[in-house]
Amino acid sequence: MSSQIKPIRLNGLPDDLRHELIEERRKRGWSQAELGQRLGLPQMHISGIETGKIVPRFDTLLDLVRVLDRDLLTVPRALVPAVQALIRDHRRPHRDTDMDNGERPLYAANDDEEEDEPR
């Protein structure tokens, strides 16, 4: 018995990925044309990717995220919520940030520990 497996095709990049790419481009002050020049792509192609009308080839997507100082990772689906929570926490300002070097502690202090400190 022979069964054909149909590949899953995207109609476009997921909205959250497209929005993150747009946000990263804008943070750098780059126009679509400038990003395209850095990738060797026309501005219309960048526009098509950002609007979801064009699904880039994998190598193009990889070049795109890397020029924006990002990377692609494969994550087991069961761990996606945990990874997303880590990313949200990384983006959120933290009250225990070391103002001298902008670093946050790996482990946040418990509220109990803070209360034990002399006042």
| Distance, CA of 25 to CA of 119 (rounded, Å) | 46
Tens of pLDDT along the chain (119 residues)? 556 777 776 677 899 899 999 999 999 999 999 999 999 999 999 999 999 999 999 999 999 999 999 998 899 999 999 998 998 888 787 655 555 565 555 555 444 444 455 54
User: Nearest Cα to 49, choosing from 14, 24, 8?
Assistant: 14
pTM of the model: 0.65
Q: What is the pLDDT of residue 84?
A: 87
Report the chain's terminal Cα–Cα distance, integer Å. Answer: 76
